[in-house]
Amino acid sequence: MPTRGAGVPASGSGNRAPRWDGLLPPAGNAVPRATARRLSGVTSWVIGLVVLTLALGLSTIVVIRLHGSNGSNGPNGANAVGTTTGPAATGPAAMGSGTTAAAAGTSSSGATATGTGATTTAAGQGTPADLAASFARLRPKLGVQAVGLVVEPVGGGPRTQLGDWQAGPAWSSMKVPLALAALKQSDTAATRSLVHKAITESDNQAAESLWSQLGSGQTAAHAVDAVLAAHGDAVTRTQAVRVRPPYTPFGQTTWSLSRQVTFASVLACSAADRPVLDQMSQVIPAQRWGLGRLPGAAFKGGWGPDASGRYLVRQFGLVRLGGHLVAVAIAVQAGGSGTLDDGVHALNLLADWMNANLHPTSGGC
């Protein structure tokens, strides 16, 4: 008879030799059942350990792979160039506090910053180039021959100056220093009544009466000049005589936007000037265009035609931008047909642009 070996059935039994986990024991050796069970258990443990080790290794590879793909800046990367995610998008840099903004991000003016590590200005509206680009896009929509804008936070801060118009006739905006001079000379109920009409309604007859109270001519002009100087403007000289009849002498004073802003900044924090400032907050609805559309506006407008009949329309005063008090002066030389309505429309657009694009980080007394 052949010797019983691997894969050979036992004689007369019809059964194969004992196996464990599909492996036959060495040829010619009988393996006890208990030993077979122990060997089977050890083998199962070893195989399980191998499987677990392979699984852990695969997991490590997957984690490393995922971690490496998170920094992708390709077309489909989570942090592609120019995209800001997480808290950095709403932190101080994004709000324009003077810290570094995302190099390729979008500024609050809607213009795209182009410089690496570009910094925002303290006025909070992105880089000066951003603001200038946004203003340049606005310019054709105004439909004007000339435009000027000056803004400065009350109490100090960077001054923003845009446009090509800088100075010209003050028109009725000159009624503010005139009213202050009149009250300084005679703070009576009658004077206050005239001030109310001159400021809130831009009443010319009331303003002429205030001018007369000051002595008219050079005497009145000197009184108004003293008020200008006390409010930081020692350069502007009030027109003393009527150079363009029938218009008022003081209305033809050349007053720059820049000096109006300086004047308004001092006006904002002067307790003695409160009676006039309060009137500037009560301008009648028919004249609440331009700056009058902005929050907390205390302002005065002035308007009138040049020798050709084309209107200059201007305003100055105090408004709140982003919750901060700023001094502002704006003006346009009307385009189109050159009417007052053309100028008013342009100042409305200009004021709306300011509210959307100028975000100071300070301003107040």
**Picking from 33-42, 150-159, 219-228, which range would have the lowest pLDDT averaged per residue?**
33-42
Residue 184 has pLDDT above 70, yes or no: yes
pLDDT tens figures, 189-237: 999 999 999 999 999 999 999 999 999 999 999 999 999 999 999 999 9
| Beta carbons of 362 and 323 less than 8 angstroms apart | no
Q: Are 95 and 126 in contact (CB under 8 A)?
A: no
pLDDT of residue 285: 97
Report the pLDDT value the prediction gives residue 314, as an integer from 0 to 100: 98
With bands split at pLDDT 50, 70 and 90, how would you rate the model's confidence at 48?
low
Confidence check: pLDDT of 147 > 60: yes
Q: What six digits make up the tokens of 191? A: 């004077």
The least confident of 29-38, 90-99, 286-295 is 90-99
pLDDT band for 354, please (50, 70, 90 cuts): very high
> Cβ contacts of residue 239 below 8 Å, gap of 6+?
221, 249, 250, 251, 252, 253, 254
For the chain, the C-alpha Rg in angstroms (whole number) is 41
pLDDT reported for residue 321: 92
Tokens, residue 165: 């118009």
Helices assigned H by DSSP within 186-339: 189-200, 204-213, 217-230, 257-268, 274-280
The domains of the chain, with CATH numbers, are 128-357 (3.40.710.10)
DSSP character at residue 232:
T
pLDDT at residue 334 tops 50: yes
Distance CA 17, CA 21 (A): 13
Count other Cβ atoms within 10 Å, centred on residue 90: 10
Q: In this prediction, what percent of the chain has a pLDDT beyond 70?
A: 65
Q: Tell me the pLDDT band of 19, cut-offs 50, 70 and 90.
A: very low
- Per DSSP, the three-state class of 214 is coil
d(CA 237, CA 298): 24
pLDDT of residue 6: 37
Measured in degrees and rounded to the nearest 5, phi and psi for residue 349 equal -65, -40
Of residues 47 and 107, more confidently modeled: 47
pLDDT, tens digit (0-9, with 9 covering 90-100), for 64-97 = 333 333 333 333 333 332 222 232 332 322 222 3
> Is the confidence at residue 274, as pLDDT, over 80?
yes
What percent of the chain has pLDDT above 90?
A: 60
CA pair distance 299, 290, nearest whole angstrom = 10
CA neighbor of 33 nearest in space, from 3, 48, 15, 25: 25
Q: Could you tell me the pTM of the whole model?
A: 0.67
Q: DSSP string spanning 78-137?
A: TT-TT---GGGGTSHHHHTSSSBPPTTSB-TTSPBP-STT-B--TTSSS-HHHHHHHHHH
Band (156; pLDDT cuts 50, 70, 90):
confident
- The arithmetic mean of pLDDT across residues 326-350, rounded, is 97
